[in-house]
Amino acid sequence: MNLTLRIWRQSGPEDKGRMVKYQVDDVSPDMSFLEMLDVLNERLILAGEEPVAFDHDCREGICGMCGLMINGDAHGPQRGTTACQLHMRQFSDGETIDIEPWRARAFPVIKDLVVNRNAFDKIIAAGGYITAPTGSAPEAHSVPVAKANADSAFESAACIGCGACVAACPNGSGMLFTAAKVTQLSLLPQGQPERYTRVIGMVDAHDEAGFGGCTNAGECTAVCPKGIPLTTIGRLNRDYLAATTKQGDTPGT
């Protein structure tokens, strides 16, 4: 396959940035999208040019590092797939592919296609944990969990924090990420003591980080590589409403 790429190049946070055109020939349809970028980078290095910076780690679709806006789709055209698991057979010979970084005020560009997702860490630090003492795993039967709750919690726990929800959201909102983390803990017994301070803290941290507000447009769930359902946002809303009317919850989170 021969492809034309238009890639966002930005040398640093202060640079204005621009789309630059590259020609990549002899791309195998069996390559992953990131391998195709590796091929381009090798050629750029041989030609003495600066390679394209992009985030990646496991390349197995579970670490959440990779994240590219490919032709206006977060993680590309295939649903439920991260960019590293996307194969070039999803594209056709001679196609022009636009590659951009996630666009959000809360995710400033560090270089080229790499963005700083520290804002997600701040949301987690505001309540995405339990303060119960940890240690060796307890006997599984000592704390019963309803199967339906365990399944829903697991579904939310599949979130890899890649930021595709923010990238796709017409409002630049990180509500699907926040809701997935809130849901995961609020459905399990271990998450109950801090349930209501958690949701307030995490939503406040979300808003403070400069994300937009949710309007239930549903773009996030359409692009989520882990298929986190939009219903998690309903669970967050319900916890939030309960939290604003509840008094005397665990302070200090």
Partner 1 sequence: MAVTGILLVLFLIAHMLGNLKIFTGATSFDHYAHWLRELGAPLLPNAGFLWIQRVGLLAAVLLHIWAATVLALRARAARPVRYAHRKKVRGSYAARTMRWGGVIILLFVIYHILDLTTGTLNPVGDPARPYANIVADFAPERWYVTAFYTLAIVALGFHLRHGVFSALRSLGQQTPRGEQRARAVALAFAVVLCAGYLVVPFAVLTGLVS
Q: Are strands 18-24 and 3-9 parallel, antiparallel or unpaired?
A: antiparallel
Please state, in angstroms and rounded to a whole number, the distance separating the CA atoms of residues 117 and 29. 31
| 239 vs 252, beta carbon nearer partner 1 | 239
Handedness of CA 204, 208, 211, 214 (dihedral sign): positive
**Residue 174: CB minimum distance to partner 1, A:** 9
Segment lying near partner 1 (by CB under 8 A), choices 33-41, 80-88, 195-203, 206-214: 206-214
Handedness of CA 178, 179, 184, 187 (dihedral sign): positive
**Residue 133: CB minimum distance to partner 1, A:** 30
Select from 189, 183, 191 the least CA-distant residue to 240.
183
| 231 vs 253, beta carbon nearer partner 1 | 231
Here's the x/- map for partner 1, 25-54, by CB under 8 A: it reads as ------------------------------
In the list 4, 23, 149, 215, the residue contacting partner 1 (rule: CB under 8 A) is 215
Q: How far, CA to CA in Å, does 189 sit from each of 145, 163, 185, 236, 243? A: 7, 28, 8, 16, 17
Residue with tokens 């298929």: 227
Residue 218, interface with partner 1 (CB under 8 A)? yes
| Cα 173–Cα 182–Cα 175 angle in degrees, nearest 5 | 5
Segment lying near partner 1 (by CB under 8 A), choices 50-58, 123-131, 156-164, 230-238: 230-238
| Site residues, partner 1 (CB under 8 A) | 6, 8, 17, 19, 69, 71-73, 98, 100, 103-106, 109, 170-173, 210-213, 215-219, 222, 229-231, 233-235, 237-238, 241
